[in-house]
Each structure stands twice: as C-alpha cells, then as structure tokens.
Amino acid sequence: MILNFVTGNEGKFKEVKQILSKFQINVKQAKVELIEPQIEDIKEVSKSKAIQAFEKLREPVFVEDAGLFIDSLNGFPGAFSAFVYKKIGCEGILQLMKNKSNRDAFFASSIAFMSFSLREPVVFYAEVKGKIANEKRGSSGFGFDPIFIPNGYDKTFAELGEEKNEISHRRKALDLFIEFLLKNR
C-alpha cells in the first residue's frame, strides 16, 4: 500500500518519508488544495483536512498539522503556527517573548488518517514540552525549530539535526500512526 501524505511542506514530507521508510511504509507526497479550518483545535483541523483530501483523491490519505503553543502567549500561535510563521517568523515570536520570564511551550502534532474502510478519520496526537530560546539557533529543520528547546536538551530542534526525528512531537504521533498501520495491514 502506498499512502498519500497531503502536504505542501517539503521539509515535513522529507522528515515523515524518512521515518516511515524504516518501517517499509511507502508514502508519496500529494499536493491538494484544502480549506484550512480557522479553529484552535489542531485535532479538528487535521480531521477536516483528511476528509477533504480523501474526498478529492479517493485513496488512503493522511495529513499532519502541528502547532507551537507558548504558555505566556496563551497558547499562541497554536493551530495558526504556519500562518504566523509566514507572517512574522521566528524573529516575530522572539520579539513577542522579549520581556517574558515564562518561556514554557510545547509543540503538538496531530495526524489524521482516512481510508475506504473508515467512517471518519483516525487521529494520532502527541506533544513535546520545552522552552522558547532567547535567539535563533541552528540551521536544520524548518519553521519554529530554531527557537524551540525540548525539555532535557540544551539545543534547539534546529541544532539537533537528525536526532530531532527521534524525539519530536511529529515522531511521537507517527509512532502511534505506525503502530495502527502495522496492526491493520
């Protein structure tokens, strides 16, 4: 079986494909225009997008939505992280955090899978807690990776390189998805 991963994010596709290939799960990138629901719950966002993608492709599909949730900013940017990144980037978030002593944050990932045998998408959700760095650090990864330091580390996701793929929110959600796929082949 080849799964369609619906994303326009090349970095995300490369990361997911690399992880899934270790489990002999074939994935291809599908670029499909989807309407992004403007809601704060990333689980509901991913479910909506999986339904839309399945209706358009009529093949097994999955989508992944992620968000950076910052405690002192009341969870902002959260489900709107991709939009916020395009508008203000890491520099904008660092500016918003300039006088904040509480730098606690978490990255969340929600993968929604839809196929012919399912009535509704199955969702796999995971988080990684950490802190917002004081400056951008590192050159690997994408998005907010240069400003997020996972708990137990002194490096940002962008400084961790390949190690990020072993500990990230996306990896944890993918592990749940992989377990589901292997049980239901």
- 8 Å CB contact between 176 and 133: no
| Given the residues 41, 65, 154, 175, the one annotated as active site | 65
* 65 included as an active-site residue: yes
Catalytic residue IDs: 65
